[in-house]
Amino acid sequence: MFANTSVQEFFPTPIWIVDLQPAFAEAFNKRLLGEIERLTGERKQAAPGGTWQTDPNMQELPEFAELTELLRKAVKASLDFMQVDYKDFAITGCWANFNPTGGQNSAHTHPNNYVSGVYYVKTPSGADAIEFTDPRPGAVAFMPRAKQLNRFNGNRMTVQTKPGRIVMFPAYLSHSVPPNRTSEERISIAFNAMFTDVAETMAAPLWKGTLPFKR
């Protein structure tokens, strides 16, 4: 009958997960929280189900230089893994997200960029996940029942998050954050990266944050 069978996975969608050393992450996040609080000042209560975001320019602020360098190292590792040939890249946007109780981020992508990611500063237990949706248009045309969900039959996958973790993914990949069902605030820092030749003209965010600023 069958002489041989094999499975080859073509066109994979990579998700990179980078964990900082626990001791470094704890100290680093304390410093980050302090700088974020100084940047934003006192935050008003968000609308039910809403979230606050800073302006997407943290990569330009000297107080976040250590963070920016860390993100650059992570992005470079992802590009090297894919063996992409490029001259240089830029962090084109970097901003803090604040999800209070009930806060969430609906499904979205990050246009005009190549790699996107999130660094997690504070993730209460029960508010520690990011969800990704299958980017293939035909994948949801027919969805049979599955004996057990896996990467071959599922159209939505979840990655657990924790303080000190970076999750990176292709900027085209639709992702969302479930509602925060805890009584604590969830704080993360999102970022984009794009090749410098393109970033100079196309990749800068076209939006402003929702927080009032002292600056």
CA–CA dist 118, 53 (Å, integer):
13
pTM: 0.89
For 158-167, write each residue's pLDDT tens digit: 999 999 999 9
Looking at the DSSP bridge assignments, the partners of residue 192 are 93, 116
* CATH classification at residue 88: 2.60.120.620
Report if residue 207 sits inside a domain: no
For 62-72, write each residue's pLDDT tens digit: 999 999 999 99
Report if residue 1 sits inside a domain: no
Which of 75-84, 107-116, 202-211 shows the lowest mean pLDDT across its residues?
A: 202-211
Helix (H, G, I), strand (E, B) or coil at 107: strand
Report if residue 206 sits inside a domain: no
Domain span at 114: 16-136+150-199
Say how many domains are in the chain: 1
Say if residue 214's pLDDT is above 60.
Answer: no
pLDDT band at 215 (very low <50, low <70, confident <90, very high): low
CA–CA dist 55, 208 (Å, integer):
5
Report if residue 144 sits inside a domain: no
Report if residue 50 sits inside a domain: yes
